[in-house]
Amino acid sequence: MKFSHIVYFCLAVTFAQAQTPIHLIPQPVRLEPQSGAFTLSKGTTIEYNQADGRVVAEMLSQQLNVPTGLGLLPKAGKSGKIQLTINETHDNQLGQEGYTLDASPKRIVITANKPAGLFYGIQTLTQLLPKEIESKTAVSQTWSVPAVRISDYPRFGWRGVMLDVSRHFFTKEEVKRFIDQLAELKFNTLHWHLTDDNGWRIEIKSLPKLTEVGAWRVARTGHYGDRPSPKPGEPKPYGGFYTQNDIKEVVAYAQARNVTIVPEIDVPGHSMAALAAYPELSCTKAQVNVDPGTPFSEWYGNGTFKMKVENTLNPSDENVYAFLDKVFTEVAALFPNPYIHVGGDECYKGYWAQDPGCQALMKQLNIRHVEDLQGYFMNRVEKILTAKGKKLLGWDEILEGGISPGATVMSWRGIKGGIEAAHAGHNVVMTPTTFAYLDYNQGDPTIDPPIYANLRTQKSYSYEPVPEGVDAKYILGGQGNLWTEQIPTLRHVEYMMYPRGWALAEVYWSQKEAKNWPNFVQRMETHFDRADVARINYSRAVYDAIVRTSMNGDKLRLELAGEVPGLDIYYTTDDTMPDQFSTKYTQPVDLPDGNITLRVVTYRSGKPIGHLITLTRDALQKRVGRF
């Protein structure tokens, strides 16, 4: 985008906010406010100029009719009050997913090269309507759209979110609801993590025990990773799986909303659920259970770990590859996209090192390090996928041991793996923990349920997916990852997803030059209101104080900050409850000695807005240098 366009864009948004605020997420490439507004009525017609636009027109009528009660019916034509037009001549700038939207007091026209562009145009149109358009029941009010001209197209072709359904099973109706939310934000990829240690979620008809055994575990509550192991003979009622008919239904539902589903079958590690069903595929052949969240591994500070229970397929056993051929034959038939994700992450090789078959294979391959067996395994898997017309996609560990040039890498351990992969000529999807892990705490760890890391919305919004020095042509795009060890319900999925998911939607769709955190905050707050109407859960952690400590000589120094503009932070250390008449934080302060308790609260415009944070001196001491 040229500098003149950036200036004009900012002026346009400012002008629009002076009239009717236009708070779109993700931000479009160009937005030019016009005078007046278009008002929906029972006489509003929805028309599409080509048959390919019919499905999108029908979706628009459904989106509008529930809250408005207007009963609008789409039809073929070129003169609708809301006109959906597929271009006769291809507009190179719009590409496959771009659109233009021209709303005047008389008419709304959305144009695109493809139905996908029309679909994203109607998502923008819905955001231009009042928040009550998100209502699940009819609302009596005026339905107006501010006059505006928008030209929009995505920066990246891969804009995704990963949903882990192994740790907790989500029904197909819940997955559909999640897909609806992704599509509204112009995400176009759902990475579906279907198998792991805690449950196998996809029916494989040739291997029925995968779901008869691998989809079910004992019922457990409490913090994941601290739960007791299954007892002999204990019932296993917790879990579930998708039949192949379920999968077909969800895939078709997603396709209609321009969302591609990429399935993940996580191998060779993270395979405990598969081994519970078929223990002969492991090195030890020992019977294991589908894990309910026990402490089955020990992690060390340098990133290495040890498994207490075997969860890895045996790379020296030909039966493993026959098993995987059956699995991938059926998976490939269910998912029409070109990729199958095969995991490859966190593969513990201790059992391989002790296995005579693995040692013999290493001698045969003339390799000295057991880690290199993963490269052998992944190359065997890639041959299986290639035979089925699929491309291999895996976490960045697949770079270890060597992979073919055609493999695509998902960089999750920071950006290092993505840089290495791109320099080697691999296509890359950027999804680093440091910006895109949506299971991390988004506020103070004393407020949110505890987990091992923290990621604030502002940090996610600040992400730049193309690393410096990397040819952008290798960066397909990126995604947010939502692991569900600590997320048992769809409501909590939403809580962890938003507003960080809104931030990442903008990172992957909008132009780099348009990024503006204070402006995003305004739009985010509008979407809080819209989410309330839509009954979508979200976190308000952006309003909480950020509490850091350091040492100033022998004194404990307190540093407070706010994530969003305009917050006033108040605190106490005298065992009183803070309010706007307590001490206002203005600069770092040395805390008094003694067994104090810090209490912090945020206000905006004279009203409390954030959570109360309470920290003992011991807790403050432990934070030194950590946040």
| DSSP per residue, 161-177 | EEEE-SSS---HHHHHH
Q: How far apart are CA 69 and CA 82, in angstroms?
A: 17
Q: If residue 69 lies in a helix (H) or strand (E), which one and from where to where?
A: none
Q: How far apart are CA 227 and CA 391, in angstroms?
A: 37
- The sign one gets for the Cα dihedral 53, 54, 55, 59 is positive
Give Cα separations from 95 to 48, 89, 125, 155 (angstroms): 19, 12, 19, 11
Of residues 32, 346, 485, 525, which has the active-site annotation?
346
Beta bridge partners of 557: 550, 590
Q: How far apart are CA 294 and CA 302, in angstroms?
A: 22
User: Is the previous residue joined to 26 through a cis bond, with omega within 30 degrees of 0?
Assistant: yes
State the amino acid at position 398 in one-letter form.
Answer: I
For the chain, the residue count is 627
Q: Among 400, 378, 399, 365, which residue's Cα sits nearest to residue 315?
A: 378
Q: Among 412, 531, 518, which residue's Cα sits nearest to residue 462?
A: 518
Give Cα separations from 351 to 130, 321, 344 (angstroms): 59, 18, 16
Q: Decide if 346 is catalytic.
A: yes
Q: Among 474, 373, 382, 375, which residue's Cα sits nearest to residue 419?
A: 474
What are the E-state strand segments in 530-612?
Answer: 545-552, 555-562, 568-572, 583-584, 589-590, 597-604, 607-608
Please give the positions annotated as active site: 346
